[in-house]
Amino acid sequence: MKMKFIASCALAASLLLGAWTAAAAPEGETLPERARNAYDAIRPHTYLRINQGETVEEFKYKSEYVPIRDLFAGRVDKIKWNGKTKTAEVVHGGKTLVFNFSDSELEGTDTKIVLPKEWIRLSDGKAEIHAAVLAYLFDREASYAIEDEERDEWRERLSFLGIKETSALPGVRDDYLYIYLTFGEKSSRA
C-alpha cells in the first residue's frame, strides 16, 4: 500500500513538473514573440519595480514599453541622446548600449551593442524598450527552465548594465505585466 502511494505521488509530481516545463517554453520565431508568449502575450500596461540595494522605485506605464531614463538613471555612468544620429546611448563600465532610431543600420562591436529595432521605440521624445523583452532577457526562472540560445547570448552581451535578474507576472485582474527588476549593488568608483 505504501509503495502504491509513493508511486502515485511520484507520477503526480512528474506530470506536474512536465506540464510546468512544457508550459514554460514559449513559442515564437523571434525573441519578442517568445517574450510576449512567456508572459501571457499582450499586456497593454506595465508595472515596473526596480530594486538596487535598499533603494526601491516603482513605475506604472499605460504602455508595453519602459523609458530607458526610468530604467537606468542613477544606475549607469551616463545616458545620452544624439539628435544628429537619432540614437540614445546607455554608457556603463566602458561599454555602450545603443538605441538606434535612424533609418540607417549601425554595426555593433564588443564595446558598442546595438539593440534590434523591433525591441525599442521612440515615443514622445523618450527612448523606450519593450517591457516583456526586458523581463525575458533577465528572467531568473526562465534562465534555468527554458533553453533559448538567443536570449542567453543577449543576456551575456548586456551583463555590463548591472541587471541581476527579473521576475515577471501577468496581472490576473488587470492588463498589467508586473516586472520586478533587481540591479546588482552599485560599485564605488575611484
3-23 residue pLDDT tens: 444 444 444 444 444 433 334
pLDDT tens sequence across 160-175: 999 999 999 999 889 9
124 in a structural domain:
yes
36 in a structural domain:
no
142 in a structural domain:
yes
Predicted model pTM:
0.82
Q: In this structure, are residues 93 and 106 in contact, taking their beta carbons and an 8 Å threshold?
A: no
**24-53 burial: b if 16+ Cβ within 10 Å, else e:** eebeeeebbebbbbbbeeebebbbbebebe
CA distance 74 to 85: 24
189 in a structural domain:
no
29 in a structural domain:
no
Please tell me the total count of domains within the chain. Answer: 1
Q: Which domain holds residue 141?
A: 45-183
Work out the mean pLDDT of the chain and round it to a whole number: 86
188 in a structural domain:
no
146 in a structural domain:
yes
Alpha-carbon distance values, 37 to 29, 123, 132, 139 (Å): 11, 24, 9, 14
**In which element (H, E) is residue 89 found?**
strand 87-92
- Ranking 12-21, 53-62, 137-146, 155-164 by mean pLDDT, the lowest is 12-21
| pLDDT surpasses 80 at 59 | yes
39 in a structural domain:
no
**Chain centre to alpha carbon of residue 91:** 18
